[in-house]
Every structure is written in structure tokens, then in C-alpha cells.
Structure 1
Amino acid sequence: MQGLSFVQSHPTSPWTTYLSQVDRVVPYLGPLSRWAETLRRPKRTLIVDVPIELDNGVVMHYEGYRVQHNLSRGPGKGGIRYHPDVTLEEVMALSAWMSVKTAAVNLPYGGAKGGVRVDPKQLTSNELEKLTRRYTSEIGIIIGPQQDIPAPDVNTNGQIMAWMMDTYSMNTGATATGVVTGKPIPLGGSLGRVKATGRGVFVTGREAARRIGLPLNGARVAVQGFGNVGSSAAELFVGEGARIVAVQDHTGSIYREAGFDMADLMAHVRETGGVGGFAGGEPMENEKFWDVPMDILIPAALEGQIDPGRAQRLSAKLVLEGANGPTLPEADDMLASRNILVVPDVICNAGGVTVSYFEWVQDFSSFFWTEDEINLRLDKIMVDALKRIWDVADHHRISLRTATFVVACERILEARQVRGLYP
């Protein structure tokens, strides 16, 4: 395993996890393995200072990042997250996973990611707009509709994308709707985008459940993280007859063996900001969440949540990674030894970037599709991509995660090889 001289990786850091995943895939790359070091090194890493004047007159400085991992197959693509624990290593790993993800579903993109180390809940709307516009101006030298296209991620949304688009457009002197995706509909956003990642989790989960003979009707589902991804996937599973028996987010953990009333739970989350205190379920200690009897687990929060200890305790038959990097490599091995199937993040949650691609295409053509058309196109891409990955997994007798990396890394490194080195 190799890394970068300026990064001191912690054994459980996201970047270390990614590097170990690359190490596992190299033996299956054949002649392309001579280019494998490309996968271990981001193409471009930008660290920026983001100073803003708060409403009380104090000038605060925040650290921001934009990392472009690989651009061999097209412009960079990846979200922006605002979180007090954002680090360069984390953003590097997320950008690399975006390279794999876009290649796995065969989109004409590379991988990128961005973030600002800030707790957005501590900022007023005015301060949040200032932060967004300043950050956009700072990274404006490397983003653009044909260069690198940001999108929403943790603690960012359509409004923040609108500010980013407007700032970039003002700085370049022309309206550039294609510079970001995940925008509000009036600014060139796409129907179906908000629930696209959760829908992708459901579609891949449905196909995986069918493969292993797990009926969705009556299946017990536990969801960690109940934002757009977790809640959207949960609603779709309930529509197929599954019941959501446990939910955990930053406000607490709740349980109900008979399954939650999704309408009541969603209303509570909208009103209070989280699942904690929901009267329609029993509160439980956060660590007990991993012991709940379940058939399907959807980790849709942050990375590094499933460690070997938790993997040993899980009763699930199927793990659907709605979050990026939720499972540590040692935990991956533990789950495999217990015959628990993992549908990895780099295919499972690729619905969001797929519909972001649809949005980008629609912005360039100024012709917009219906939500039904969006969902049909998304479903076909996800099903076809998973079938290709499953065929590779069966052929090599490897996990779905390693198979996804084989498919994606072959595409990335073929593009690298054909393009050659310049100068």
C-alpha cells in the first residue's frame, strides 16, 4: 500500500480504506496494473482559506478543500460537504470513490469532491451564503461545466448549489447552469434528483435481494442516517412491503418491531430535525442499534461506521451502503465470512451521480425530461451496471466491492493508457 508524502494516514482513515481497496483490485487488472499508481494519487488537491465576516462583525476563517482525483474519463464530479470534521484525507478518499463510482455506471466523468470544515448549524442564513460564495470564488479556478462539477453532499442542498452557480456565473460573466448539479428546478435542476441516491439504493437492493432469495415483503430493514438517502430508500422499501424496524441518526436511535408509520416519522423529522423523541417508536442506546434483528441494513450516514466488532454482531443478510465508505476493510472480510452480502457504496449509492449526469445533459440541451423518464433511465443504468459487476464477481469469485473496482478501474486505466502521458 502506498500513499502520499504529505498525508499521514491513520489506520482507519477513509483514505487508508480506499488504498486497501485498490490493493485488492490490482491482481485482477492484468497489463493495466502498470498504471495502478494513478489510482493512488489525486490529480489535483486544492486547499483554500475561506474568510467571512459574521453578522456580529467578527471575521472568521474556515478551511476548504476541492480534490480532483482522476479526470481521464471526463470532468470531475462530486459533492460539497459542510461538516466540522471534514479533513483533507476524507475529501481525497471521497473523490477517489467518485472516480470509481462514475466509472462503475459508465458515466463520462472523473471523480472529485469538496468540503469546508465548518458546522453550518452555527451559521445564520446570511453567513452561510457568504461562506458558500467565498468558497466558490476560491475554488473557481478549477471548477466549471467542462472541468469539475460540484453537487450537494452532507449539510449542503439546492439553495447552496444555487449560490454556487450564481457566484461562478457572476465571476465568469455568463450564466452557467451546468457548473453544479442538484440545483433547484427553476435554475435548471432535474426532476427526481433529490430522491435519486435513495432510489439507487432501493433498486440495487431489490436486485440483490432477488439474487439471494430474500423476499422484500415482510423484510425487516434498519436504517442508519435518515436524510435524503436513508428516508427515500426506506419509503421505497416500505412500498414493497418491507417494514422499517430501526432508525438511527445524529439525534438518537429508535426501534419498533412492527415497523414505523413512515408518514408520521417523516413528519416528525421535518418538524424536529431528527428521529430522536419520535413517539411512534421506542428509544434505545445508539450502540444497541447494531444488535437489532434485521434482514437488511442501510448505513446511510458517514464513513467508517461498520467496524469488525459491529460486523460480528449484525444479523442482517444484506447490507446496502447508502453512505460512502461505511464499512472498514476488516469488517468487510468479517461480513463475507458470515455470508452477509454487501452491495458496496460505489454502485449502491450511484443513483445520485447518475441523475446529476442527467441534469448536466439537460442543462446543456435546454430540454428537460419528466420524472417518470428520469426514473426509468436511472433504473436501467443501475440494473445493467449491477449485472455487469455481478458477472465479474462470479467469474473471479470475488466480492461485489472488488468486482465493482475491477470494472471501474479497468475503465479508468484504459482511458489513462489510451490518452497517454503529456508531454
Structure 2
Amino acid sequence: MANEAFPSTGSTLSYVQPSSHSPWGTYLSQVDRVVPYLGPLARWADTLRHPKRALIVDVPIEMDDGTVRHFEGYRVQHNLSRGPGKGGVRYHPQVTLEEVMALSAWMTVKNAAVNLPFGGAKGGIRVDPKQLSLKELEKLTRRYTSEIGLIIGPQQDIPAPDVNTNAQIMAWMMDTYSMNVGATATGVVTGKPIHLGGSLGRVKATGRGVFVTGREAARRIGLPLEGARVALQGFGNVGSSAAELFVAAGGRVVAVQDHSGTVINPHGLDLAALSRHAQEAGGVAGFRDGERIDNEAFWDVACDILIPAALEGQIDVARAQRLKARLVLEGANGPTMSDADDVLAERGVLVVPDVICNAGGVTVSYFEWVQDFSSFFWTEDEINVRLDKIMVEALGKIWDTADQHRITLRTATFAVACGRILMARQERGLYP
């Protein structure tokens, strides 16, 4: 199909032809919506539609059985106008270049939305890590790091954990890069183990950011957290951490969905018991203190706050028409399709978009990066205070912009962030 997102310049990459419902197509539609609010900077808007650099790498490894397998890896740097690239690395069997492009673009917007001195980047390998042994996983990580070593570095592009990656994988990445450059470079990745230069508070930072922005949004729309019913899609670090904080504030989690199924309890699920069960059973399905329902029925659960904290593209038009929540907090990247956004706005459902809602993780990654450079580390309380302040101030600026132009929080977030990105582009100029 023809790509109508680039009427003057053509497609971003000749072999990427996004549909309107693909991650990159969703991102492009978000850019189109913000252009009218960019003023004179709109002349630079095509900057946002063109990733600066996209690297596709072959990752061959010798398996435990002696065979050699090849995996496809990616690292995309969407925009570096405001600083080095920053964004996670995901291992997933459905990773594609187009998805990584979209995720890198959302990182550009996210970093600018909270005013961090970073550009946006993202990486991934098309692999099911659950099918690999620990040794195979280490080989995969080290070879991938060597292949993308051409474009990463503490002042160039700083990877971090994402879907199916963790502190151990970041340690392997840091070690591989350090061996290749001949010096220990702790700042090349964030989300590392604490004793290798990681930051306190990093594991729960994204979930904390979801809670902080959700708390502020709930206060502004008059939704008391005491007694608030929370429905959660995704029970990893992001979802579980946010849920714990909402429960501590007086809410109750009435539904949780993960890859294994969906469980509900209108009186509130015991998160500690559910977490133990999920760890032992490999998912929430079968939890004895919750009723199992069909996965699609999750979108009909009566709740006040919905937190999609799994993968992108979860809320389409049909689901948006059924949601019972007053407030949607996007813990995942790109969980709501553009046309579904319109439906939610028409129904009066407030959406706190991913590019501000889940920015707590990259904010504490920034703290980690700063601490690594200074070799001076803060306490977890100091981390949380700094995080809360940045998130509250960022949301306040976005909310004021939304009120001023009478637009959604998503468009307002893009307006604030893209204004900062394009101002940097304009002031730097074009080289040569």
C-alpha cells in the first residue's frame, strides 16, 4: 500500500511500509496530529518521521548441541539532537525492524517529555530467550553487543533492559563493550546490577512513574485512590510495582492478566500471594484466590483505573468502546491504537500516554548514567524524591499545554516533547 505519511519525502525506509495499525504507523499518526501545534518548528517535522540510523545485524552463535544458529538483531537510533541515544533492548520472537523503529521514536519523545539530555534509541533480537540455555543466552548477548558496538557508547547510545532482558544481560553487554574498548565502561548501559554501577530504585522506577503520574491525574479529575479499582494487564516489574503502590494508597487490584491467562477478584487480589504463585507457576493462571475468566473478558472488567503494562497494540477500537475505566495509565509502550485514542477521548476516558506515564524507568536510567560518570551514588530515598519531582513537574507542563489547546494529554505530550526536539534540531542546524 502507498505510504501517505510522507507526502513530500516518501517512506522512511524503502522496505518499511507501515499500516495504520502497525507500531510505526501509530507513531506516524501521532506525529501528524501534533504538527498543527508546533508553530514555526513545523518546518522541521519530517525530522521526526525519519530515524537517523537503523542497523540490522546477524547474530550467529554455537548452540549447546554444537549446531550454529543465526538470529536477526537491530539497533535503531531515531534522533540524537538532544544527546546520546537512550533506549532498551528486547528479546522476543516477534521483534521486527518496524517495531524497533517505533519504539526508538517513542524513546525520543519520552526523553524530551521529561526533559532528559538524551535522544531516542531501541534495540532487539528476534528470539525466544526461554528456548535458550543460560550459556546460549550469554553468547547471544555478547555477539549482539559486539555487532552493535560500532554505534553504542557512554556518549553515543546507552542500551537498557526491556522485554525479556534484565540486569544480568546488561552486565554481559557492559563487559563485552568494555573488553572491546580496553577499559571498563560502566556508563555504556543502564539497568546493571548494583555492584557493577547500577542504581538503587531502578527495578521499580517505571512502575513508580506509572503510579506518580496516575496519582496526579486521578487528583486532577477528582478520582479518589482510596477504594479505587485497578485492572492490570502485565504482571512484570512495571505492572506489579505500580499495583503495589496503588494498593498502598488505598486502592485494590481487581483483575490481572498476563501471558498465562486472566484472574479477577472484585474484593481485591492479594498481590504478594499472586506474585508468589506467578513465580512458582510461571504465570497468574490457576491462582486459587481469584476467578479465571476468558482473556477477552478482561476488557469488560468493572474498574476505575486500567494499566496496560504488557505489549503494544492492545487497545483497539472495539476494546476502547467496552472499557469501564475512567483512567488509563499506559505502562507499556504503544498499547493504544490511534483510532482507539479517539474513541476513549469521546467517551471521556482520560489516557495518560506512555511517553510520560512510563518515563520513570528512563529517568532513573539517567540517574544511573550520571552516577556512573561521577562515581558518586545516591540513596534509594534520594532517587525516589528526584524521580517524583521530575515526573510531577513534567506532567504539570503537559497538562497546562493540554488545557491551553484543548487537546488530549497524548497530543500535548508530543507538543511539548517535539517542540524541544525540533528546537534542538533548528539551533544545531544541518551539517554540512
Deviates more, 1:97-106 or 1:272-281: 272-281
Q: Distance in 2 between matches of 1:270 and 1:192?
A: 21
| Residue 321 in structure 1 maps to residue 311 in structure 2 | no
TM superposition shift of 1:230: 0.3
1:289 is matched with which residue? 298
Q: Distance in 1 between matches of 2:77 and 2:365?
A: 17
1:207 is matched with which residue? 216
TM superposition shift of 1:6: 2.3
Q: Distance in 1 between matches of 2:362 and 2:126?
A: 23
Q: 1:15 aligns with which of 24, 42, 52?
A: 24
SS of structure 1 residue aligned to 2:74 = strand
| Residue 135 in structure 1 maps to residue 144 in structure 2 | yes
1:174 is matched with which residue? 183
1:257 is matched with which residue? 266
Q: Distance in 2 between matches of 1:66 and 1:42?
A: 11
1:126 is matched with which residue? 135
Q: Distance in 2 between matches of 1:21 and 1:295?
A: 26
What letter is aligned with 2:356? I
TM superposition shift of 1:242: 0.4
SS of structure 2 residue aligned to 1:9 = coil
**How many matched pairs?**
423
| Residue 274 in structure 1 maps to residue 305 in structure 2 | no
Q: Deviations for 1:53-98, whole angstroms, at most 9, x for unmatched residues?
A: 0000010000000000000000000000000000000000000000
Structure 2 counterparts to residues 45-84 of structure 1, below 5 A: 45-84=54-93
Q: 2:318 aligns with which of 309, 313, 333?
A: 309
Q: TM-score, normalised by structure 1?
A: 1.00
Q: Distance in 1 between matches of 2:197 and 2:282?
A: 28
Q: Distance in 2 between matches of 1:251 and 1:375?
A: 32
TM superposition shift of 1:280: 1.3
Q: Distance in 2 between matches of 1:280 and 1:72?
A: 51
1:298 is matched with which residue? 307
Q: Distance in 2 between matches of 1:191 and 1:141?
A: 29
TM superposition shift of 1:24: 0.2
Q: Distance in 1 between matches of 2:292 and 2:366?
A: 40
Which consecutive residues of structure 2, in runs of 5 or more, have no partner in the other structure?
A: none
Identity of aligned residues (%): 80
Q: Deviations for 1:339-397, whole angstroms, at most 9, x for unmatched residues?
A: 00000000000000000000000000000000000000000000000000000000000
1:369 is matched with which residue? 378
SS of structure 2 residue aligned to 1:405 = helix
2:424 is matched with which residue? 415
TM superposition shift of 1:195: 0.2
What letter is aligned with 2:335? P
| Residue 378 in structure 1 maps to residue 424 in structure 2 | no
TM superposition shift of 1:273: 2.3
| Residue 352 in structure 1 maps to residue 361 in structure 2 | yes
The Cα RMSD (Å) is 0.5
Q: Distance in 2 between matches of 1:122 and 1:265?
A: 25
Q: 1:103 aligns with which of 101, 105, 112?
A: 112
| Residue 192 in structure 1 maps to residue 201 in structure 2 | yes
TM superposition shift of 1:274: 1.4
Which consecutive residues of structure 1, in runs of 5 or more, have no partner in the other structure?
A: none
Q: Distance in 2 between matches of 1:338 and 1:233?
A: 25
Q: Distance in 2 between matches of 1:215 and 1:158?
A: 36
TM superposition shift of 1:263: 1.2
SS of structure 1 residue aligned to 2:328 = strand
What letter is aligned with 2:31? V
| Residue 341 in structure 1 maps to residue 344 in structure 2 | no
Q: TM-score, normalised by structure 2?
A: 0.97
TM superposition shift of 1:269: 1.7
Q: Distance in 2 between matches of 1:280 and 1:168?
A: 46
Structure 2 counterparts to residues 134-153 of structure 1, below 5 A: 134-153=143-162
